[in-house]
Amino acid sequence: MCKGVKPEDESYNIDKSYENIRNYIRDNNIKFNEVNRIIKLSTKISNRIMIEKN
């Protein structure tokens, strides 16, 4: 947690970020496969391997 940031503020910011991402995906008609590809490319290789296994 950041100094001076209350937990409820941090939670709000995370929720707002997810909301913005959901809206962007919806507004730009991005398909599941494209979202999946973007997430994998923006993830560390060790985590990517775990994602691929699941």
- Burial label for 25, CB within 10 Å (0-12, 13-18, 19+), is middle
For residue 33, count other CB atoms closer than 10 A to its CB.
Answer: 8
Give the pTM.
Answer: 0.53
For the chain, what are the domain ranges? 7-53
Q: Give per-residue pLDDT as tens, 2-54.
A: 556 565 667 777 788 889 889 999 999 999 999 988 888 888 888 888 877 87
Gap between the Cα atoms of 15 and 22, Å rounded: 11
